[in-house]
Every structure is written in structure tokens, then in C-alpha cells.
Chain A
Amino acid sequence: MERMSPVVRTVVKIAFAPMFAFGAYIILHGHLTPGGGFQGGAIIGSLMALYLVAFGATAWKKKLLSGLESGGLLVFIGTGILGLVSGLMFYNFLADSDIPIFNEAVPTMLGYTHSNWAPLWTGGTISVMNLAVGIEVIAGLTLIVITMGLFAFEGKEGG
């Protein structure tokens, strides 16, 4: 795919960091604020589409993206199956436990002026699965855009 004009490329360069930060915020705060892995992944995925349209699609780390996509899904399913250790599928075995992965408890709402306050390090398996789904969605959408861009311009550049 051909690159676009310097105007488009400059705008995309400027908008890249804020959009990426916003998408990462949506994914990381999935258990605290509206949003989550799917939504934040779609934001960053559309950012990648914008980047590839502006700068031209190449076979840009397709192996890595495929691995990230499969790995995200495997982490998601594995986290769900690990809940079987406690007896239930998708049991939140990390929440308020001794395993130091997103294991803080949500504080009671009495002591805080803001009624919907909680630290980021909460959520247990929910946060882990949000991250996994976010990585999977980012990699999947980027892969789709790369593949379609390469397919459409196959004749011009020979893949």
C-alpha cells in the first residue's frame, strides 16, 4: 500500500501517542470505569489501521501479531480454567488473595468522598482477562488491516 501525503502522516504522528494512551487507559481500567478489553482494543486497533493507511501496509511483524492473538486467547481461557482449582469455571481466585496479581480488595465506600473509588490493583482475574482480551483484539484487528492492505495491493508491489 502506498503512503499518503505528508499532511496525513504528520497528523497521524501527532495523534498516535494520545490515542494509544487512551486505548491503554480503557483496557487497564476495565474493572473500574466503563470500557474494557474489547473496547480499548478496538481503539488501539483503529489507531493501527490509521497508521497503516497513512504509512502503507507492509508485512509488519505478522508472526508476532499472530502469536500475540493466540496468546491472548490462551491466557483468557487458561485463566478461566484455572478457576477450576477452586471448584468453579471462571472463578475469581485472584481477588483478595495472597497471589500478588491484582489482588487488592475494593475498599468499602464509607471512607471515601468519591463514591466509586478503588485502586487499580484490584479485580483479580477480571483485570488479567481484560488485558488478555485487549491484546488479542489489538493483534487481531491489526492483522486484518495488514492482510487486507497487502491483498488489495498485491499486484502493484508483489506482496
Chain B
Amino acid sequence: MINNGFKLAALLLLAGFLTFAVWNLREFGEPGEKADNDVVLYNAEDNTTLTLDRTAMDDFMLDHSQDGSSTDEDVLENGPSANNAVTAVVFDYRGFDTMGEATVLFAAVSGVLVSLRIALPPKEKKGGDA
């Protein structure tokens, strides 16, 4: 068995990691507070880089999620036309993740149905309700 000292050390290690993570969090309600974690995009065609602020992606979501201008030629300029920006991200920008989530739910229900099915009595009345 694992002794208590090892458990305590693991617990303290986890607490240290979590505390360290909290120090690196962005200030709540103040986007763009920390600029030391910029996103750098690399363009392979003309060998240039584009440095975006850390919150550029958040701003993009907030700016475009309520647009619905599907008449534009560039499909990337079209927003999902949802008033709820979170739903716009979950179901439109990150729809593939949500598809996996729904598939996981489907697999879980299928597993419950298969593993908890009721075995019919061997030679008695078969059938009955489904």
C-alpha cells in the first residue's frame, strides 16, 4: 500500500501546480491585461509572421458571432448569426467538438442498454414487450 507520506507529497504537488496555474490566469474582466503570451501566426507563403494579442481570438468570436451576412463571398467572414456568443462557439466554430460530445453520450446510452439488458427466460414465453 502507498504510505501516507507519499499521498501527502502528491497532494502538495497538485496544490502547487494549481496555485501556479492561478497565478498565470488573466485578470477577471480585464482582457488584454497580460501581453506576454501573444499568439504568433506564421504565413508560409511570403515568410512573414503576424503577432496577435492574446485576446484577439476572443474579440473575433465576440465581433463575428452575431453577424449573419452570408451574402459575402468569403465564407470566413460569415458569422453564425446567434445572439449567444457561447452557443456560437460551441455549435458553430467548435461544432466538431460538440459532435464528439454527442457521440460520447450516444455511446454511453448504448453501453447502458447493452450491459443492462434483461435476459429472456430460456424456454418460457419469448417476446413480450420490446
Taking Cβ atoms with an 8 Å cutoff, the residues of A that contact B are 30-34, 36, 38, 58-59, 62-63, 66, 69-70, 72-73, 76-77, 80, 86-93, 95-97, 105-106, 116-118, 122-126, 129-130, 133, 136-137, 140, 143-144, 147-148, 150-151, 154, 159
Contacts and interface: CB of A to CB of B under 8 A. Distances in A.
Q: Which of A116, A126, A159 has most chain B Cβ within 10 Å?
A: A126
Contacts of B102: 72-73, 76, 133, 136
B92 A32 contact: no
Contacts of B90: 36
Contacts of A106: 66-68, 81-83
Contacts of A150: 118
Contact of A96 (B71, B106, B128): B71
B112 interface: yes
Nearest to A122: B81
A148 B68 contact: no
The 6 A-B residue pairs whose C-beta atoms are closest, nearest first, are A90-B95, A95-B81, A96-B68, A118-B83, A140-B109, A31-B82
B96 interface: yes
B116 A89 contact: no
